[in-house]
Structure 1
Amino acid sequence: MSDTVGALQAIADRVIEQARPGEQIEAFVSRGGETEVRVYQGEVEHFVSAQSEGIGIRVISDGRTGFAYAGTLDEAAIAEVLADARDNVQFGTVDEYAALAEPDGVSPTEQALWNDALADYPTDEKIARAQDLERLASSHDSRVRVDEANYADAWGEAAVASTAGIRQSGRENGCYVSVATLADEGEGAAAETQTGFGFSVGREPGEFDLERAAREASERATCLLGATKPSSRRVTVVLDPFVTAQFLGVISSTLNGEAVVKGRSLFTDRLGDEVAAASVTLVDDPTNPKAYTSTDVDGEGLAARRNVLIENGVLQQFVHNSYSARRAGTVSTGNATRGGFAGTPGVGCLALSLVPGTRSQAEIVAGIDDGLLVQQMQGLHSGVNPISGDFSTGAAGLLITNGAVGAPVREFTIASTLQRMLLDIVEVGGDIDWLPMRSAGMSLVIDNITMSGA
């Protein structure tokens, strides 16, 4: 434990030592920072380097919960936060499930979440990485111009302690680069512009693959030039890894224990049912060091762990924090989420991924006679209902004809239901891609999708 993390833990410990008879107290203390760099035409267009620290305190008494926080670690402010949390208890509604997380005997998985090379990385080098990425993305195709190139990193230290026996602390950092491109073709009324993007993640900048990020940003934009509206029909779709990650993000909301206990999930009361194709095994595993969002403990201080949510197509479990688990009559899966000291724990997947198959996207496409490679989906959150499962979103991509990728298409929708899509999964690709989000991507083949175009 670093000296600074130890100091945070000492603050949390002192707070819970002040608990009165009949009170449960949790103290969450954190500090962190982030850097954001945006480059345009070789010059720094936007630069932010920000830090914050603070404490959040929960007090539970007689089934009522009070919470308060402050963006400072001044001793007088901490005393005021504790007093405010106690005062706020009286305004809380009695909840029979209100309680703090309790130790469950699961030990955190040792992980290298902190990288000294990133912590010591000079600011001018961060700017240089964004400039390098912009230059590379501009060099791939004369039709491509870079809208923006970005470098971002973040670090955090946190400690939590509670009267229920939780006591955990740690620190982590990470970084990524991204680039947005525009591809232009034609003149006058025939002129068109398509967009693309690319990115690379790492624990430190030396792990970036700038060339790959630049190439993908260029190819994503140029491949859609000349796109037309396709004819309406049912097709087999191949989701690009990034689109698959977005799709899994939607699926994760249906496997959220809080949504389930409130009856807001299409999988309520379906544990043990076959809900997906037999080739589908869906795992939330924040202990995987390759995951960008890997972690050792969840937002309540319980050990993060590998949870198999769907195994060989059968729904095995939902993700829970301690509160949703009590409501569901089960135990926490170590999936408490917390955005920082200013909020109380929520629940959600931490690092979701399908167990990958073995074939590349090119090998998969070669076996499809009439299909669609989906490279973009728009309106996922507005076009998908996680309760009914209705799915209808705008999309763009490339037609697949006789095993080859062909004409670009856009201005159409793809539609089905989440229930049907999971059961109609034909294959999971082996091209797993770890993205700067809570879901990993890989090519995903889904049959019987309605493509509504011309």
Structure 2
Amino acid sequence: MSGGVSAASKNAVGLDDPEELLQRADAVIAAARPGEQVEVSLGESIDTEIRAYGGAVESLSSARSVGALVRVIVGGRSGVATTTLTDPETLACLLVEARTNAADAGVDPVAAVARPDGVAQPDLELYDPRFELLSVDDKVDLALALEAAVMSGDPRMSGVEGADYGDSVVVSAVANTAGIRAAQRESGAGLSVYAMATERGETQTGFGFAVGRSAQELSVETTAAEAVARTVQLLGATKPPSGKMNVVLDPWVTAQFIGVIAEMLSGEEVRKGRTPFADRLGQAVASNLVTLLDDPTDPRAPGASLTDDEGLACRRVNLIDGGTLVGYLHNSVTGGVLGGGSTGSAIRSGSSLSVGPRAVRLMPGQTPRPDVLAAVGDGVLVTEVSGLHSGVNPTSGDFSCGVEGLLIRNGCVAEPIREAIVASTLQRMLTDVLAVGDDETWFPVDASGVTLAIEGLSLAGA
């Protein structure tokens, strides 16, 4: 099963059936005038957020969100109109508003709605029906249990900034006059906690989180243990010596870096010449240990989806294969301009349509984490970065960011470090990969991560 739901499921979660949304979109499409291209995007969601603090519920919210967008293209002029209702009468008015906006817009010769490309939707079930079995009290209990498990995990634990449970269920539909017609329903749930540990007057912080399609996939014990371990391991941290060092990235850090790299492989950035990877298809851009792809067809990924935001089927997109750049991410516009067509990578933010990754993966290697550390010998294990996105120049690839973690000595983790800065270029990082771990881990971002060893990065410390 990949999209349809029953009326009973609709009533249980309080949202419209995706097929009902699709029928409303069809009615708008049917009202298109000759020469008009029309696209309709409809979505509804229910989001629950619970925070535990001090053994009690600090906050609890459950909100229903509704959104509708109609885009009209006439003679290269595009008009968009949005609203927070999806009833037929409102959608009819939205079409009129989009026409008016199109009449006042400038001409874009490449403006067009997406056309079917024959790629079938992946066979995924992204809605876990167990989502409906938990009451609000059950969800509260998870947040409270998470806080309690962290605080009892080590005598040095001194506080929790917040122990959170969150979940969402989303239904959506996209249709256009070129024949696109798609609808889906998906669920997601997560635990996260930010904790503090204190020893000899020093306090350090750390985190733990888990993601799944429903609360039943989450483990309070594992999430708490991760938070405790990450927090207490940094107690006693000092500035490391400055110099060039081999660096091992924790999977969480690797996920953040490859997420940034994937954004630089967007067809929109290539089209505008704002990435160092432009015009490099077929060239070696990384170590032969590096194979990078965007795979929203992997159900483990929080960003997995049946379709992109233009309604085209999501698919596995190869970006770097054995170190060679083999592809970019495209929506229908960038794929048409640069050739090759869409890769099902359209991302809509508000009324704007762009290109972006959903589930980036650096394919895991065959090396266990201890062996990655052993191969490095001496260096630094980076467990957290700060200021990465603001510290990256997306045009040149230069970056500088704060790091904390643990020294590596003779292949084993040693004393903790903090207040250090790593600087290099993303291109050089990719080229200087020494080893890729086998420990792929998914996080609540658009990328998974593995333990990754990189040769000779510049570290500024004491």
Offset at residue 146 of structure 1 (A): 1.8
Distance (Å, rounded) in 2 between the aligned partners of 1:81 and 1:344: 16
Match of 1:406 among 401, 408, 414: 414
Match of 2:245 among 230, 235, 243: 235
Distance (Å, rounded) in 1 between the aligned partners of 2:232 and 2:454: 25
Task: Within 5 Å, give how 1:352-371 maps onto structure 2.
Answer: 352-371=360-379
Asked if 1 retains the 8 angstrom alpha-carbon contact of 2:372 and 2:436, the reply is no
TM-score between the two structures when normalised by the length of structure 2: 0.95
* Seq. identity, %: 46
1:335 paired residue number: 345
What letter corresponds to residue 118 of structure 2 in structure 1? G
Distance (Å, rounded) in 1 between the aligned partners of 2:280 and 2:105: 33
2:169 paired residue number: 155
| Unmatched 5+ stretches in structure 1 | none
Offset at residue 138 of structure 1 (A): 1.0
Asked if 1 retains the 8 angstrom alpha-carbon contact of 2:197 and 2:232, the reply is yes
2:39 matches 1:26: yes
What letter corresponds to residue 258 of structure 1 in structure 2? E
1:392 paired residue number: 400
1:439 paired residue number: 447
What letter corresponds to residue 173 of structure 1 in structure 2? S
2:194 paired residue number: 180
Structure 1 stretches of at least 4 aligned residues deviating more than 6 Å after TM superposition: none
1:6 paired residue number: 19
Distance (Å, rounded) in 2 between the aligned partners of 1:419 and 1:150: 37
Task: Within 5 Å, give how 1:23-422 maps onto structure 2.
Answer: 23-144=36-157, 145-186=159-200, 191-339=201-349, 342-422=350-430
* Root mean square deviation, CA, Å: 1.1
Offset at residue 219 of structure 1 (A): 1.2
Offset at residue 329 of structure 1 (A): 2.7
Per-residue CA distance 1:377-403 (angstroms, 9 max, x = gap): 111012111111111111111000111
Offset at residue 440 of structure 1 (A): 0.2
What letter corresponds to residue 451 of structure 2 in structure 1? S
What letter corresponds to residue 217 of structure 1 in structure 2? A
Is the partner of 2:435 in helix, strand or coil? strand
Per-residue CA distance 1:343-376 (angstroms, 9 max, x = gap): 2432101110011012222221123221100011
Offset at residue 110 of structure 1 (A): 1.0
Q: Which moved more, 1:326-335 or 1:166-175?
A: 326-335
| Unmatched 5+ stretches in structure 2 | 8-16
Q: How many residues align?
A: 448
Offset at residue 338 of structure 1 (A): 2.4
Is the partner of 1:366 in helix, strand or coil? helix
Is the partner of 1:367 in helix, strand or coil? helix
Distance (Å, rounded) in 2 between the aligned partners of 1:344 and 1:300: 11
Distance (Å, rounded) in 2 between the aligned partners of 1:169 and 1:75: 17
Offset at residue 437 of structure 1 (A): 1.3
Offset at residue 205 of structure 1 (A): 1.3
Distance (Å, rounded) in 1 between the aligned partners of 2:304 and 2:339: 27
